[in-house]
Structure 1
C-alpha cells in the first residue's frame, strides 16, 4: 500500500492503521520527511512513480485543491487489479478524476472519514464510502469489512449527494464556529475571563469553537472554498442572520417566537436533541464532580494529547485545572486536556510501570491437593500482580511447593504476604520455614 500525502496528519493516521492490519505500507510526501516514515515504522517512497506501479492499493491523502491534479499524475501508472482511493472531504470532483484517469482494470473508491487525526481508533466513527458502479467489485467488500471490523459505522452514498450534505454538515458548521471565533476577536472579548460566567451550553460552544480554530486553517479554507454547494448555504445563513437581527432590533417578540417555532417544526423532534445535549452536559458535570471528590486521594489522569499518565494525590480542583502531587513535584493540568482513569485502569498502569515486591512462600500441601488449583486461589488476591510455581518436590513423601508472588508496589508486602499465608493455612497447607 502506498499513501500519497502520508507525511500529513491524516496520512500518518492511516499509515499506522493499515500497518497494524498487516499491510506493507509506504508513504510519500512532497516535504520528503523520511523521519516520519521511520517514526511510523513504514517505508518512505523515494521514487513515487515506481512505488505507484508496484502497489496493490494507492491512497490519495493530499489537500483538496490538489487532489484531482495528484490523481491525474498517479492513476495512469497503476497496475491491473489494484485499488485507487482518496480521503478528501469532497467526493464529486475526486471520483470523476479517478474515473477519468485510472485505467479500466484499476478499481476506484471515494472515501471520506468523518473524523480528525486525533481520535485513537475507528470505534464509533462514521466513514463515508462512495463506490462507483462496476469500478470496485473486488476491493469494496475487503475495505468495508476491514473498516467495520475496526468499529466504524459505514455510510454509502453517491458522490453528488455527499457533497450536498457536507455543504451543511461541514460547510455551515465550520463557517458558524469560525465566524463566532472571529466575532470574539472583533469585539476584543476576553474569552478566558468569560469562563467565570459560563453556562454549560456556553462552555460546550466555546470548546467547539476552540476545537475548530485550533486546527489546520488551510484545510478549513479548502472545505469552504472547494465545494460549490457551500456558497448557497452561506447565502441562506447570512440572510437568516440579517433577518433575525432585524426582528431583534425592532423588538418584534412575536416575530422572534414565530421564527423559532417554525424552525423547531422543521427540525423535527427536538426532544432527543435535548436528551443528547443533557447527556453531554451531565457528563462534563459528572467528570468535574468526580475530580472534586478525589481531593486528597490518589488518582491517575491521562493527558489526552500527549498520552502521558500522571499519577499522584489530587491536591486541588477548580473549574479549569487540577493540581496533582506527583512524587516530589506538583503538576498543574488543564481539565479539558485530561481524562480520569478508572480504578482498574490505574491498577493496570501500576502493574506495567512500577517495581513490585517479590516473595517466595514454600508449603507442604495436602495429599490430594492440586498445586495449580492452589495457585489460582492465590492469583485471586487483588494485590497480587503475578504468581507462579517455581519449585515442586517431595519431602518424606509429602508434596512441597514453592509459590512466587509479586505484590503490587504500593501495598505493604508484609501484610499481603500474611494474607496469602492465612489462606494457605486455611486450606490445609503447612508453611515451611
Structure 2
C-alpha cells in the first residue's frame, strides 16, 4: 500500500505540472492578444469563452469529475488571460507617448489607480497630493505649485476638495484636458459647465469600480459631457484599449441614479453592520453559523466598512436625492416590521413577489 508521504510527493509533482501548463497557457494567451491587436479584434471574445467553458465541462463529465469545479478553474484562467491581454493592449495602444499627466490626489487609493493607469499608457505622470512624499521626483504637495503645461490633469481628490480645485482652475483658466472622477457631480456641476463655456477642455467621469481593480472587463465607467464634446471624446479614448463598458449619461441624471446605486447600497450595508455591532454577538460565531445569504452579505458589508468613511459620508450628504432614498429604505423596513408584528403574511409575501418581479428577466 502506498504511504501518505509518497502520495503527497506525487500530488506535488502534479501541482508543478499544472503550474507549468498554466505558464504555457499564459504564453499562448500573450501571442493571441498580439494577433488580436494587429487584426483590430477586441480583447474579449464572449463566444470563444463560451466554447472554452463548454469544452471544459464536457471533458470533465467524461472523466466523471464535478463540472462546477472545472468551470471555476477555467474562469480564473480566462480572467488571467484577459488581464494579461488588456495590460498589453493598453501599453501598446497607449495615448501617452511623449505626453504628460498630473494626477491631483494621486496618493489616495483611487488616485493611485489613475497614476498607474496613465503610466501604463506611456504618460510622464506627476502627482500633486498633500499626503504624498514631496521629496519624491515629480511629486508636489499642492497642485498650484505645478506648471500649467500638462496634457492631461486628473482631479482625483475628495469631493469637497475637488469642488475647490475645479473652481480655482476655472479662475485661472487652466489649460490641457481636465477631468474629475467624482462619485457625485452636484458639488461642482455648475463649475464644470462654466469651464466648458469658457473654452476649457473639461469632462467628467465616474469609474464604477474600486482601487483594487486590475481588470476592467465587466466594469463600468460613466462618461458625462459637460459642454465640450471633443474633451469627452479625448477622455473616452484613454479607455479605448480596455475592456471596460462605457456608459454615457447626463450630469443631471447621474446623481439621481447614484442615490440608488451607491447611496442605497451603502446605507443598507452600514445599517446591517451597525445592527450586528450592537447585537453583542461575536463575529466569529455568526460567521460559523452563517447561511449562504448571510455570508454573502457579510462580505459586502465588510468591503463597505473597510472603505473611507468620509467619502461615504460625502456620497450621502452631498447628494440632494439621498434623503429620499434613505427614507424609502426606512419605509420598507417599517413595512417589514409591521407585517411581522401584526402577523400579516399576505403583505409580507406580496413584498417579496414585488422584489422577484423587479429582478425578473421577463
TM norm structure 1: 0.57
Q: Counterparts in 2 of 1:4-403, with a 5 A limit? A: 4-34=104-134, 38=136, 43-45=138-140, 48-49=143-144, 51=146, 53-80=148-175, 82-101=176-195, 104-133=198-227, 135-137=228-230, 139-265=231-357, 267-269=358-360
Structure ranking higher in strand proportion: 1
Q: CA deviation at 1:256?
A: 1.0
1:317-348 Cα distance to aligned partner (Å, 9 max, x none): xxxxxxxxxxxxxxxxxxxxxxxxxxxxxxxx
Unaligned 5+ residue runs, structure 2? 1-100
Contact 1:76 1:102 in 2 (8 A): no
Contact 2:216 2:244 in 1 (8 A): yes
In angstroms, what is the RMSD of aligned CA positions? 2.0
Using the alignment, how far apart are the partners of 2:103 and 2:173 within structure 1? Answer: 13
Task: Select between 16-25 and 86-95 the one with higher mean Cα deviation.
Answer: 86-95
Q: Which has the higher contact order (CA 8 A, sep 6+)?
A: 2
Residues 79 and 174 from structure 1, CA distance in 2 versus in 1: closer, same or farther, beyond 3 angstroms? closer
Structure ranking higher in helix proportion: 2
Contact 1:71 1:98 in 2 (8 A): yes
Contact 1:90 1:163 in 2 (8 A): yes
Contact 1:264 1:270 in 2 (8 A): no
Could you say what secondary structure the match of 1:148 adopts? coil
Equivalenced residue count is: 262
Over alpha carbons, which structure has the higher Rg? 1
Using the alignment, how far apart are the partners of 2:181 and 2:142 within structure 1? Answer: 22
TM norm structure 2: 0.68
Using the alignment, how far apart are the partners of 1:205 and 1:58 within structure 2? Answer: 38
Using the alignment, how far apart are the partners of 1:224 and 1:210 within structure 2? Answer: 19
Using the alignment, how far apart are the partners of 2:229 and 2:201 within structure 1? Answer: 5
